[in-house]
């Protein structure tokens, strides 16, 4: 997990032409669309492996529903967590950032099931069985009518068709999927079933890292 400097990794967000920057814009658009579709009233949002929180913070910064959303971001790297807090403060947002292992269900129990769940920059760092297992846990993290927004790289083997099948099997409906020609994968799935209980003390996945998964050949924007 620690082979890469995950704080330095975020630098490409500041390059508008980068794949990571373009993917971020797509994720933010899907977050805003999900918020627009939710009914009036208080909302809850969870972000796994949140990094610097640029996706959720950027989407909420000028969104009319921002004051209604209670957010919890979970990130292991304390430098990224500190940056997320600074970005949220600069945007005038009251967002909770937890430094900890994002795979642990205990971090989400208070707010689950949530209206919005972000699993961005995660699936490309997991084995395929763990991707499927994490999607199963999304059915516990996300309420009925809530959305999961996720990302995954498109390099071979392209697991995105399988991701969509796993979401379908877990009771979700595909609402949007980025075109393969973009070079990145972003999806949003709507939860149609009643949420399952979220067990405490459970690890949802093991963060292997995309470099270890394929001998350093997977793209860094996993």
What is the arithmetic mean of pLDDT over 86-108? Answer: 97
Q: Which residue has the tokens 């900890």?
A: 100
In order, the DSSP letters of the chain are: --SS-TTGGGGGGG-TTSHHHHHHHHHHHHHHHHHHHSPSS-EEEEETT-TT-HHHHHHHTT-TTGGGEEEEEEES-HHHHHHHHHHHHHTT---EEEES-TTBGGGTTTTPSEEEEEE-S-GGGS-HHHHHHHHHHHHHHEEEEEEEEEEEE-SSS--HHHHHHHHHHTTEEEEEE--GGGSEEEEEEEE-SPPPP--TT-B------HHHHTTT-S-TT-
Q: Please give the pLDDT value at position 143.
A: 98
Displacement of CA 74 from its chain's centroid (Å):
10
Displacement of CA 123 from its chain's centroid (Å):
9
Q: Please give the pLDDT value at position 156.
A: 84
Q: Please give the pLDDT value at position 220.
A: 45
Q: Please give the pLDDT value at position 11.
A: 54
Residue 183 burial by CB count (10 A; 0-12/13-18/19+): exposed, middle or buried?
A: middle
Residue 140: pLDDT over 80: yes
Calculate ∠ Cα 108-101-173, nearest 5°: 50
The 10s digit of each residue's pLDDT in 145-201 is 999 999 999 988 899 999 999 999 999 999 999 999 998 999 999 999 999 999 999
Q: Please give the pLDDT value at position 164.
A: 98
Q: Please give the pLDDT value at position 4.
A: 64
Domain 19-213 carries which CATH code?
3.40.50.150
Q: Please give the pLDDT value at position 1.
A: 43
Q: What percent of the chain has pLDDT over 90?
A: 81
Q: Please give the pLDDT value at position 50.
A: 98
Residue 219: pLDDT over 90: no
Residue 25: pLDDT over 80: yes
pTM: 0.92
């Amino acid at each position: 997990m620690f082979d890469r400097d995950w704080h330095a990794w975020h630098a490409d967000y500041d390059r508008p032409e980068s794949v990571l920057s373009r993917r971020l814009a797509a994720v933010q658009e899907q977050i805003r669309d999900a918020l627009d579709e939710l009914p009036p009233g208080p909302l809850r949002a969870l972000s796994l492996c949140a990094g610097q929180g640029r996706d959720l913070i950027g989407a909420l910064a000028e969104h009319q529903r921002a004051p209604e959303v209670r957010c919890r971001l979970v990130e292991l790297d304390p430098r990224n967590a500190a940056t997320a807090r600074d970005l949220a403060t600069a945007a005038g947002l009251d967002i909770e950032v937890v430094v900890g292992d994002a795979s642990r269900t205990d971090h989400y129990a208070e707010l689950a099931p949530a209206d919005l769940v972000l699993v961005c920059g995660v699936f490309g760092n997991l084995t395929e069985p763990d991707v499927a297992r994490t999607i199963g846990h999304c059915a516990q993290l996300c309420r009925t009518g809530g959305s999961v927004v996720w990302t995954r790289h498109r390099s071979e083997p392209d697991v995105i068709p399988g991701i969509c099948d796993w979401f379908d099997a877990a009771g979700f409906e595909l609402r949007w999927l980025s075109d393969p020609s973009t070079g990145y994968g972003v999806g949003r799935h709507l939860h149609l079933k009643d949420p399952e209980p979220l067990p405490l003390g459970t690890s949802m996945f093991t963060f292997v890292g995309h470099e270890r998964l394929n001998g350093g050949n997977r793209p860094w924007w996993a």
